[in-house]
């Protein structure tokens, strides 16, 4: 390793699935040295999610590149001792056990900060450290249900791990804030994030705008006035929130008289009459091919794009120009495709330094760095402390 703005930062991650592990993914992408610790004898669920070759899934190859992987039984005293050695020199520790589990394992914040007072310790949970739901099991769709996201999607789940990934981005931002505070003399600290709070915060800006100002006249939400438009041969995404954009759309679609229609003449009117607006323009655009619709909408200078299927994304001109998709050869999987880290740094550029580890790939390497001899490593493996 050795590129990116987080060069020199060391992370130990014992979390699983997405909400915790994708935090260390963001840090690894920015150059941090990340060690991902998995259970001995059990695969992380994300190794088993999506298309799979060997122990590498379509999720795994993106989530865990630029990391080293180690199998360690931290529930045993010998495994805990190894973990404490790793934490002594670490900058960040990440866990997403249910509340209370880390403390029972004696790897809670108090335990690890006693070993390393400068440690930034991140706890990721579903609902928070306490409360009526704190000890319940949880997955992304449950948070979507509780947060209003399912209702916002017309009563269905978003077909993506939105709550997990939103929480991970919140966690990564919080860790960076804590590292900055430490560099300013604040020392290490315990940082806590949870899926429910993170998702509600993410939803609040637009979906809860009526509840934010309860004395105002309610306004339809995005889910009511932003939808793709069907054409004769596909779909287009297009919006025209500004009045001048709306006027140009009416002209280019051949309906200039709608510019003065009181139902749609202003942004406020279009929002309040969103159902009628959708019906009128759905009928208009439904008579165009996708190409014709895009020609008219681009001529009107409004935001628009075709609705692509997954396979079409790879050939999109802007995606290709940005070199967003990276193609590599994995020794165990063959060809893999991932996306580059979305932030570009002019002075500390990021690089793909490592492909996602196979299970326990770096266990011996890490133990050797801790001073364990080959005989000691073999004994630890025989005892089930490492895999």
Same domain for 326 and 295: no
| Burial (Cβ within 10 Å: 0-12, 13-18, ≥19) of residue 350 | buried
pTM of the predicted structure, to 2 decimals: 0.94
In a domain, 191, yes or no: yes
Q: Which neighbouring-strand residues pair with 52?
A: 57
How many domains, in total, are found in the chain? 2
Note whether 152 and 162 are within 8 A (CB). Answer: no
Domain of 249 in residue numbering reads as 229-306
Same domain for 63 and 153: yes
Residue 153 confidence (pLDDT): 87
Domain final residue, candidates 255, 276, 306: 306
Note whether 285 and 236 are within 8 A (CB). Answer: yes
Whole-number Cα distances in Å, 5 to 8, 31, 170, 172, 302: 9, 6, 18, 14, 37
| Residue keyed to tokens 């890490």 | 366
Residue 2 confidence (pLDDT): 53
Note whether 134 and 127 are within 8 A (CB). Answer: yes
CA dihedral 273, 276, 282, 283 (to 10 degrees): -150
Same domain for 172 and 199: yes
In a domain, 143, yes or no: yes
Instruction: Please list, in sequence order, all residues whose beta carbon lies within 8 angstroms of the beta carbon of residue 173, skipping any fewer than 6 positions away.
Output: none
Q: What is the mean pLDDT of each run of 10 residues along the chain (387 residues)?
A: 86 96 97 97 93 95 97 98 98 98 98 98 98 96 95 90 96 98 98 98 92 92 84 97 96 96 94 92 97 98 97 96 95 93 95 94 98 98 97
In a domain, 222, yes or no: no
Residue 224 confidence (pLDDT): 75
Same domain for 182 and 33: yes
Domain final residue, candidates 306, 341, 360: 306
Instruction: Please list, in sequence order, all residues whose beta carbon lies within 8 angstroms of the beta carbon of residue 48, skipping any fewer than 6 positions away.
Output: 57
In a domain, 4, yes or no: no
* CA 65 centroid distance within chain: 15
Tell me which residue of 155, 100, 146, 91 sits closest to 123, measured CA to CA: 100
Note whether 73 and 101 are within 8 A (CB). Answer: no
Residue 3 confidence (pLDDT): 81
């Amino acid at each position: 390793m050795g590129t990116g703005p987080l060069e020199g930062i060391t992370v130990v991650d014992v979390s699983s699935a997405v909400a915790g592990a994708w935090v260390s993914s963001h840090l690894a992408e920015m150059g941090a040295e990340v060690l991902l610790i998995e259970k001995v004898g059990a695969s992380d669920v994300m190794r088993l999610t999506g298309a799979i070759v060997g122990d590498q899934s379509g999720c795994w190859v993106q989530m865990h590149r630029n990391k080293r992987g180690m199998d360690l039984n931290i529930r045993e005293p010998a495994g805990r001792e190894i973990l404490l050695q790793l934490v002594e020199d670490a900058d960040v520790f990440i866990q997403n056990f249910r509340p209370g589990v880390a403390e029972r394992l004696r790897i809670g914040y108090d335990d690890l900060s006693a070993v390393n007072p400068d440690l930034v310790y991140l706890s990721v949970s579903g609902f928070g450290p306490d409360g009526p739901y704190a000890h319940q099991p949880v997955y992304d769709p449950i948070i979507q249900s509780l947060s209003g996201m399912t209702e916002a999607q017309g009563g269905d789940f978003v077909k993506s791990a939105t709550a997990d990934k939103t929480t991970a981005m919140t966690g990564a931002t919080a860790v960076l804030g804590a590292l900055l505070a430490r560099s300013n003399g604040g020392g290490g600290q315990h940082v806590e994030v949870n899926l429910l709070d993170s998702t509600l915060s993410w939803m609040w800006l637009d979906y809860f705008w009526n509840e934010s100002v309860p004395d105002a006249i309610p306004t339809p939400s995005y889910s009511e006035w932003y939808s793709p438009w069907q054409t004769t041969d596909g779909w287009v995404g297009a919006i025209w929130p500004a009045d001048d954009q709306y006027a140009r759309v009416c002209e280019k679609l051949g309906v200039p008289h709608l510019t003065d229609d009181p139902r749609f003449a202003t942004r406020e009117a279009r929002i309040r009459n969103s159902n009628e607006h959708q019906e009128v323009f759905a009928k208009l655009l439904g008579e165009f091919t996708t190409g014709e619709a895009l020609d008219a909408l681009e001529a009107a200078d409004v935001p628009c794009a075709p609705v692509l299927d997954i396979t079409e994304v790879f050939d999109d001109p802007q995606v290709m120009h940005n070199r967003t998709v990276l193609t590599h050869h994995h020794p165990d999987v063959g060809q893999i495709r991932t996306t580059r880290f979305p932030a570009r740094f002019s002075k500390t550029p990021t690089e793909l330094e490592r492909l996602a580890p196979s299970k326990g790939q770096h266990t011996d390497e890490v133990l050797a760095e801790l001073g364990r001899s080959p005989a000691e490593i073999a004994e630890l493996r025989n005892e089930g402390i490492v895999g």
